[in-house]
Structure 1
Amino acid sequence: MRFLPLAGSLALLLTACSHQPTPAPEHQAGDITPATSQETRAPAGVALLRGTLSWQGGETRFSPCGSQQQWQLLADGSLTQAWQAMGQPESAYVELYGNLTLGDSRDSPLRLTSKRLNRLSAANLPQSCTETAADSRLILAGEQPAPWAFRLSGNSGVFTSDGLSRTLQLKEQQGQTTGAQQMTLMATDGQQATLVLTPGLCTTDGGQQAWGWQASLSLEGGEPAYQGCARQGHLLAQLQPPLQWRGHWELMRADLALTLTPHYESTLLLVRQQGPQVLYEGAWQPTADGLTVLFNRRNDMGVREAIPFRLQSNHLTADYRLLNGGQVDFDSPLSLVPGTLGSVTPKPAAADTPTAAPLPPSLSAASTADPQVEQALRDYFVMSRSDPHQASYRYGLLDLNGDGRPEALVQMNWCSGGQCVWLIFQGQSQGYRFAARIEALAAPFYVASHTQRGWHDLLAPGSAGSWVQLSHDGISYPVRTQGAPLAPASLLEGATQVSFGQGAWRHLP
């Protein structure tokens, strides 16, 4: 085995991004501490993840063990250097400390930024993910002055060398989390040992593995120090929060089932009183006071959403969610408790069906103000924390979901090049609630008779005279027309043309 110095510049980056994110505050990702009753969960914003890396076409992807997800990886220097030292393999098994964030757009994969390498292996990829070392706090191995190994579980560890083994108890630990760590250990016969860990790459198995720590273990009696490599055990699952949570979202009239996995994947299932179930998919990230769930798929369509939860007294509580770069407050705090919704399982999305309700041939802007529409707009400005000053609007009413209550289609004067922001408010028994925001939508556009998940498709102008299809995913319409699929010409038959060009702009009173 050999040690790899970390000094010096790195010429190769394992990411195709053209810019680097703002560095996050230094986290205590390298803490190696005994398992005691005072021990806390993972350091804020940092998780120890296991999975496979693949390098294709200049881009690096990470897939958690046992998962089909692929996250974009922004590699730190230690991971880059270890990969170079192994001959730059196209795929490898990795354990790393990192933090997860949303991608740049609704269709982007989640982004994993590595902070420190724990282990990189170019061999035995399938077997590595099935290893079970979760009960081991610390794993060490070396060849000098003779082959040796040490495995620390909790406060007790077993040292082996030359066919002999002895139990060592952890008595004291000193040092800073970002620098060298020194541990004092005691054998059952009273012999004392000193273990020193230094952050730095250390290769083993003939260069086929790189571990994140260099280790030196000295025993009393003048014996030469044992030199080798160190890494943390897998996942430390006992430090993670409960993995099953349940709750209720009153505004959506839905029961919630949040599932976390030990490999930091997450799903959120909404079981609504009316309408199809909605399934969010993504990942979760530990934070200083709880965790954040991040989602980039909703009913198999791209989204960009996150919910920061506080963890207190075995409750998860959230005051807001992050939606497409903006903050949207919940009408009342979202609260989850450990548990499941019983036998509820995700249902497939409702089949696409044509609606029997006839649509009018066209929709023009309403000629009079509607106090309930105005109130919905005021609520939207409060919810989105935006200023209604100089904002103007015009609106029309059309039943988009076939429930007999018309939705309010609102065109805002936030326009550029003939493309404007449109807001859709769902009709309720009393008033309206926000349902969708569509940006850069040109008029006229069409409301098709065809429906998906109970809502009419919208047909928006595309390029070169084409039309693109905006389909409801059970929660909302897409935010942008860019990237939407082309609409077949048959959908224009019997569609309602929406054009407010002759309507007067209004200001909120």
Structure 2
Amino acid sequence: MRFSSSFLLITPLILVLSACSSTTSSTSTTQVKETVITPTPEVIHQDFSNILDGNFRGQLSYKNNKPYFQSCDDPQLYQVITETALNDVYNKIDEDNGEPVYIEFAGQIVFPKSKKSKSSVMVELDRINHMASTKTSLQCAKATDTFSFKAKGNAPYWRINIHDNKLFFATKASNQSYTVTNSTVESTKQQVISAIKSDEQRLSLTMQLGSCYVSDNKEYWGYITVVESIHGKFSGCGELGQLTSEQPFTGEYLSQSKQSSDQDINLSLNANHTLEYQQGNQATKTVKTGFWKSNTPNTVVAMFTKQDGKKIQQEIIFKRNGLSLSSNEVNKDNVLAKLDEILTFEKMNAKYSSLKGDEIQIKRQFTAQFINPANSIDLEVQKAVRNYFKIHRTDPKNTRFNSVRFDLNGDGKDEAIVLLDWCSSNGCEMLVFESKDKGLVFSSRVSRIQAPILVAETQHFSWQDLFIAKDNNWLQLDFDGLSYPLKISAAKSIERPTESSGVVLFSEGRPTTWFSIK
């Protein structure tokens, strides 16, 4: 075999270079350590929520040329921020006396933009609905829940009040009642409300946002109004009412930890829009306070302004599903962060205690009695059942119900125990509503209940246990701090109800008379 002379000359050089390269590579490997680069987590900046059109009423005053607001149900002063001509309206009502005035306005509670601010929150005023001198106004005693809109004028005298789709029109000559035919009142745009009387007489009310002063200039109303009817054309001022509506968010909530009851969280959403958040036991308790706000039935914003007495700025936006609130992220100082797991709160009937229910017993005296449904419909229960289906976004269709009343939690008020006609050989669907000062509030739903139902002498979380018969056996339903068990399969099996109070609900068994929900 023959090789070219060029190959023989190049080969030794290649071998030498190869050897040098191999040595260098080996040395480099022993001297250079591998560097692991950890990716920097993405920082997501996000503004705090704007939840407009909250209703506020109370006193407005000025200090050092700055406006401050004191709510009717809160003694604290809040600095007001606004882009409206608030000072001009105030001076016209107060006539430079520097006295507080009564005010109703639409707005929201917000965090101050500067962390150096002494206030943990401020009130943002978006729209003035009403302002009046405290000397001529009923102030916080003024009723705002008896109308959705009202208007008036004095040249000549006339008055209008709209409530429950009825329009009442008064002049010096007469009082007339009309039915609104075309619209509900909306707050932020011009609209014309049409109404008709039983004799076919028609009336129209045009309402437009604008500065409107009653003739003596002691009152400001936020709408300019014009009425046209068979009796003539009338001009004047108008204002929105603040109809009392059910607040689906107010109440006590519990988030139970899977690891330890010491990490359970109580969340209180109060009627005056303050909140309190407590996590942990007495030794390691974390307490946050703040406010909550909402302008939809499905979303509520929790604003945390203090933690263990120190100022903070945190916000959690909860989504509502029935009686549950849940979220998976928190906004801390305008930086959005994901929570380790979804934070879910369940609505309760009272603030939760980590003590087991059977450790606390309140001895009650019972009188044996057999309780059956009345022959007539309980309208309060009908409303509560209807609202239950509305909250759960379910059409009850042809569902019917019947109910009995008994005090299950020993507070002196009778709960409503409802059976729906969703019945089979296994039993019927049962709903329990707790009696509160403002009416009946949903507590529990239990499937496949066989009547009659025996009330026990024993309790859990101050609620009496219930005994039901099932397939020649007995089951005991215990309240768990949130509700009675949803499914009777979760109930405790017992040999016989030895601790019965003698009170029997639906003592004659399944109702034979049912009432429509709608």
TM-score range, shorter chain: 0.5 to 0.7
- 1:316–1:337 Cα contact (<8 Å) kept: yes
- 1:317–1:336 Cα contact (<8 Å) kept: yes
Q: For 1:129, what is the secondary structure of its paired residue?
A: helix
Change (3 A) 1:126 1:177: closer
Residue 193 of structure 2 is matched in structure 1 by 183
1:368-426 Cα shifts (integer Å, max 9, x gaps): xxxxxxxxxxxxxxxxxxxxxxxxxxxxxxxxxxxxxxxxxxxxxxxxxxxxxxxxxxx
Change (3 A) 1:242 1:80: same
Deviates more, 1:328-337 or 1:113-122: 328-337
Residue 204 of structure 2 is matched in structure 1 by 194
Change (3 A) 1:91 1:192: same
For 2:193 and 2:216, the matched residues in 1 are separated by: 28
1:156-176 Cα shifts (integer Å, max 9, x gaps): 122222163111111013999
Q: Pick one of 104, 107, 111 that aligns with 1:98.
A: 107
Residue 246 of structure 1 is matched in structure 2 by 253
For 1:163 and 1:144, the matched residues in 2 are separated by: 14
Q: For 1:321, what is the secondary structure of its paired residue?
A: strand
Instruction: After TM superposition, give the deviation of residue 277 of structure 1 in Å.
Output: 4.6
Change (3 A) 1:192 1:283: same
Instruction: After TM superposition, give the deviation of residue 307 of structure 1 in Å.
Output: 1.7
Q: Pick one of 224, 229, 236 that aligns with 1:219.
A: 229
Q: Which amino acid aligns with 1:73?
A: V
For 2:220 and 2:195, the matched residues in 1 are separated by: 26
Change (3 A) 1:313 1:186: same
Deviates more, 1:98-107 or 1:302-311: 98-107
Q: For 1:341, what is the secondary structure of its paired residue?
A: coil
- 2:179–2:195 Cα contact (<8 Å) kept: yes
Instruction: After TM superposition, give the deviation of residue 238 of structure 1 in Å.
Output: 1.0
Change (3 A) 1:177 1:122: closer
- 1:245–1:259 Cα contact (<8 Å) kept: yes
Q: Pick one of 65, 77, 80 that aligns with 1:58.
A: 65
Instruction: After TM superposition, give the deviation of residue 47 of structure 1 in Å.
Output: 0.9
Q: Pick one of 72, 80, 84 that aligns with 1:73.
A: 80
Change (3 A) 1:249 1:24: closer
Residue 170 of structure 1 is matched in structure 2 by 180
Q: How does 1:201-216 map to 2 (within 5 A)?
A: 201-204=211-214, 206-216=216-226
- 1:216–1:225 Cα contact (<8 Å) kept: yes
For 2:309 and 2:126, the matched residues in 1 are separated by: 30
- 1:290–1:309 Cα contact (<8 Å) kept: yes
Residue 308 of structure 1 is matched in structure 2 by 317
Q: Which amino acid aligns with 2:348?
A: G
Instruction: After TM superposition, give the deviation of residue 134 of structure 1 in Å.
Output: 1.4
Residue 237 of structure 2 is matched in structure 1 by 229
- 1:202–1:210 Cα contact (<8 Å) kept: yes
Q: How does 1:359-438 map to 2 (within 5 A)?
A: none
Residue 454 of structure 2 is matched in structure 1 by none
For 2:147 and 2:110, the matched residues in 1 are separated by: 29
Instruction: Please report the TM-score for the alignment, with normalisation by the length of structure 2.
Output: 0.52
- 1:108–1:296 Cα contact (<8 Å) kept: no
Q: Pick one of 304, 326, 340 that aligns with 1:331.
A: 340
Residue 267 of structure 2 is matched in structure 1 by 257
For 2:101 and 2:187, the matched residues in 1 are separated by: 28
For 1:124 and 1:46, the matched residues in 2 are separated by: 28
Q: For 1:80, what is the secondary structure of its paired residue?
A: helix
For 1:137 and 1:227, the matched residues in 2 are separated by: 19
- 1:304–1:323 Cα contact (<8 Å) kept: yes
1:227-263 Cα shifts (integer Å, max 9, x gaps): 11111112x33164331131216387023132232x4
Residue 442 of structure 2 is matched in structure 1 by none
Residue 117 of structure 1 is matched in structure 2 by 128
Residue 290 of structure 2 is matched in structure 1 by 282
For 2:175 and 2:104, the matched residues in 1 are separated by: 28
Residue 362 of structure 2 is matched in structure 1 by none
- 2:48–2:331 Cα contact (<8 Å) kept: no
- 2:292–2:301 Cα contact (<8 Å) kept: yes
Q: For 2:52, what is the secondary structure of its paired residue?
A: coil
Note the aligned Cα RMSD (angstroms): 3.2
Q: For 1:305, what is the secondary structure of its paired residue?
A: strand
Instruction: After TM superposition, give the deviation of residue 152 of structure 1 in Å.
Output: 0.8
Q: Which amino acid aligns with 1:246?
A: Y
Instruction: After TM superposition, give the deviation of residue 82 of structure 1 in Å.
Output: 1.5
Q: Pick one of 101, 119, 133 that aligns with 1:108.
A: 119
1:444-500 Cα shifts (integer Å, max 9, x gaps): xxxxxxxxxxxxxxxxxxxxxxxxxxxxxxxxxxxxxxxxxxxxxxxxxxxxxxxxx
Larger RCO: 1 or 2 (CA < 8 Å, sep 6+): 1
Q: Which amino acid aligns with 1:273?
A: N
For 1:248 and 1:174, the matched residues in 2 are separated by: 38
Change (3 A) 1:324 1:52: same
Sequence identity of aligned pairs in percent? 15
2:82 corresponds to 1:82: no
Q: Which amino acid aligns with 1:65?
A: C
Structure 1, unmatched stretches of 5+, are: 1-22, 28-43, 346-509
Instruction: After TM superposition, give the deviation of residue 344 of structure 1 in Å.
Output: 6.4
Residue 355 of structure 1 is matched in structure 2 by none
Q: How does 1:28-67 map to 2 (within 5 A)?
A: 44-67=51-74
Q: Pick one of 163, 168, 176 that aligns with 1:158.
A: 168
Q: For 1:172, what is the secondary structure of its paired residue?
A: coil
For 1:177 and 1:132, the matched residues in 2 are separated by: 19
Instruction: After TM superposition, give the deviation of residue 125 of structure 1 in Å.
Output: 8.5
Deviates more, 1:98-107 or 1:170-179: 170-179
Instruction: After TM superposition, give the deviation of residue 118 of structure 1 in Å.
Output: 0.5
- 2:149–2:238 Cα contact (<8 Å) kept: yes
For 2:246 and 2:173, the matched residues in 1 are separated by: 34
- 1:172–1:184 Cα contact (<8 Å) kept: yes
1:206-231 Cα shifts (integer Å, max 9, x gaps): 111101001111113xx321211111
Instruction: Find the structure with the greater CA-based Rg.
Output: 2
For 1:160 and 1:337, the matched residues in 2 are separated by: 48
For 1:228 and 1:69, the matched residues in 2 are separated by: 35
Instruction: After TM superposition, give the deviation of residue 306 of structure 1 in Å.
Output: 1.9
Q: Pick one of 283, 288, 293 that aligns with 2:302.
A: 293
- 2:48–2:315 Cα contact (<8 Å) kept: no
For 1:290 and 1:176, the matched residues in 2 are separated by: 21
- 1:52–1:125 Cα contact (<8 Å) kept: no
Change (3 A) 1:90 1:269: same
Instruction: Please report the TM-score for the alignment, with normalisation by the length of structure 1.
Output: 0.53
Instruction: After TM superposition, give the deviation of residue 132 of structure 1 in Å.
Output: 2.7
Q: For 2:91, what is the secondary structure of its paired residue?
A: helix
Q: Pick one of 141, 157, 164 that aligns with 1:130.
A: 141
For 2:337 and 2:136, the matched residues in 1 are separated by: 42
Q: For 2:216, what is the secondary structure of its paired residue?
A: coil
